[in-house]
Amino acid sequence: MLKDITIGQYFPGSSPVHRMDPRFKLIMTLLFIAMLFMGQHLYSICFGIVFCILALALSRIPVKLIWKSIKPLIPVLLITAILDLFMVDSGDVYLHWHFLKITAGGVRTAVLMVTRIIVLLAGSSLLTYTTSPIALTDAIERLLSPLKKLHVPVHTFAMMMTISLRFIPTLLEETDKIMTAQKARGASFSEGNLLQRAKALVPILVPLLVSSFHRAEELATAMECRCYRGETGRTKMRQLHAAGRDYAAMTVTLLLFTGAVAVKIIF
């Protein structure tokens, strides 16, 4: 199951989304997230769904790959839906059994929340799927460059975020290898009560923590060997330049965002 998680991975391609300026993609992703959480009505997220469908179609990322990243989170989605279904008590009552009650408000909230999370995962994952870590670092640094006047270490912050995203797949792969090795030695992670299962995770967490420190030390040594000294004296081989497709995509995103704001005001 850990191999199915594709968060932070980059898939090279030549689609219009791949060729877009990463700065525009970052801003559009933030506007997309704002669309989804703009209001509490089902109509409020329709604009976010339209944005997600358009982005998926233009990125040429296979739908099965998106589903592969969502599939491990199905238990979380089910728990969220069940909690919303029984905890929200408003509207017409559909079912009332002892202390359990299913109402129209609970059904609406459960459907809205699950749909919102699925669309959020599918749409926001396109940012890392279609943007290389180096381009993402440059985009974050350029967008936050005004904060340099306040002596904020923008370059360091951008580098930390990008390295964190980059090492998510690596750590997941390392975790899968450790679990396979422990199972070969007779370890079991699905038997016993909750406390016993938690204790069974210790042989995984300790080697994973040690491996993470080793990888961090190796990365720091490699950066020092390449004379990396932070932002001081650095130049960029690739300059970011906006094109017509970037402005066109941003215009469509702003129109969808405006529609989401209008729907929130109306409802």
97-156 pLDDT tens trace: 776 777 777 788 888 888 888 998 888 888 888 888 778 878 888 888 888 888 888 888
- Contact between residue 129 and residue 56 where contact means Cβ atoms under 8 Å apart: no
Match 């699905």 to its residue by tokens.
Answer: 190
pTM for the model = 0.75
Token couple for 138: 């440059």
The reported pLDDT for the residue numbered 170 is 80
pLDDT tens, 172-181? 788 888 888 8
Query: In the chain, which residues have pLDDT < 70?
Result: 1-8, 91, 96, 99, 189-190, 192, 194, 231-237
Token couple for 80: 């969220």
The reported pLDDT for the residue numbered 8 is 61
- Contact between residue 103 and residue 93 where contact means Cβ atoms under 8 Å apart: yes
The reported pLDDT for the residue numbered 24 is 93
Domain boundaries, the chain: 2-157+237-266
